[in-house]
Amino acid sequence: MASGVFFGLTAALFWGVADLFMRGAAKREGVFITLFFTEIIAVLGFLLSAQPLGLLNFSHATPQIILVAAALNLMILAGAGFLYRAFAIGTLALVSPLVASFAAVTTLLALLAGEHLTLTIGVGLALTLVGVVVASMVPAPAADPKAADEKKVKRATQHGFLAPGVAEALIAVLIFGVAYFALRYVAPTLGGVQTAFIGKVADMLALFVLAAGVALLALWRHPSIKAQDVQGDPLSGILSAYRLRWPKRGFWLFVTLGALLDTAANVAYNVGIASALTSIVATLSSLFSAVTVLLAWVFLREQLALRQWAGVAAILIGVAMINWG
């Protein structure tokens, strides 16, 4: 129990701080470049730290379980894609709490798989999930009277029953919920460090293949990119085709800290579900959204609404009940 609480809270803290740095990196160079270099830095971090310590030992792993671990982490990467799409077209105040509730899916699946909780822990988990959603609700900006007519037109022409970004957010919730639950069948066998390393390698390769594929497509569709540029300097050709550029100096501090913290969070989550109840670790790790909101309040001077403070209070009470239960 204690280990589940510790690793869940550790994952939440690291993910929450990492998100703050990732936001800074993405604002400077965009989402794709941030993700791409995040995975490269994470893999290098594993090779420079975990490998010398002998933590990347795969002698006990079968090819099948390695492929499953890679597939689950690619699912999580796809969920991140839907998440960023939701942030791009939707309202943060609506999308953020929706995505933070992925732990409800993971917890439900864990309970259906046979996990049993005491009444105190069950109430604590429910209170924590509610607190995460409420604390993550960013107050909507004040309405602009000049944009009233434009909003009316947008609502009148909008099709479907869901607000923009909600469908993508719900897809991300389902992907995250299922993938983070399924990792419980991989992490105990592979190990938390090994599972996280496999995921980072798979994500890095997938992003590289995506970038190369789009670059080749761009080269084929845009003959203005000279063939000799690609033949003489393949990297330059790919960067030109995909409209990428070498990031500026200020980007590296944000992406390096964000990548290392995100990797540490992944390891903490994997180690946690390998040694404790998935429902507890998943719920506590979902606090990352509230951590990010609180850090934005402290360092970015973003204001918190009264309901967000109520959500924080619910989280603290819920965590205390889980710990005591």
**What pLDDT does 66 receive?**
95
Three-state DSSP state, 234: helix
The 8-class DSSP code of residue 91 comes to -
Q: Which residue has the tokens 């995975």?
A: 39
| Structural domain spans, the chain | 2-52+60-138+165-324
Cα angle, residue 179 at apex, residues 175 and 185 outer, rounded to 5°: 160
**What pLDDT does 232 receive?**
45
Q: Are 103 and 282 in contact (CB under 8 A)?
A: yes
Which pLDDT tens digit goes with each residue over 185-209?
999 999 999 999 999 999 999 998 9
Handedness of CA 111, 117, 120, 121 (dihedral sign): negative
Which pLDDT tens digit goes with each residue over 84-115?
777 767 765 567 667 777 888 888 898 889 88
**pTM, whole model, 2 decimals?**
0.78
d(CA 3, CA 59): 26
Q: Which residues of the chain have pLDDT under 50?
A: 148-149, 151-159, 226-238, 240-242
**What pLDDT does 307 receive?**
80
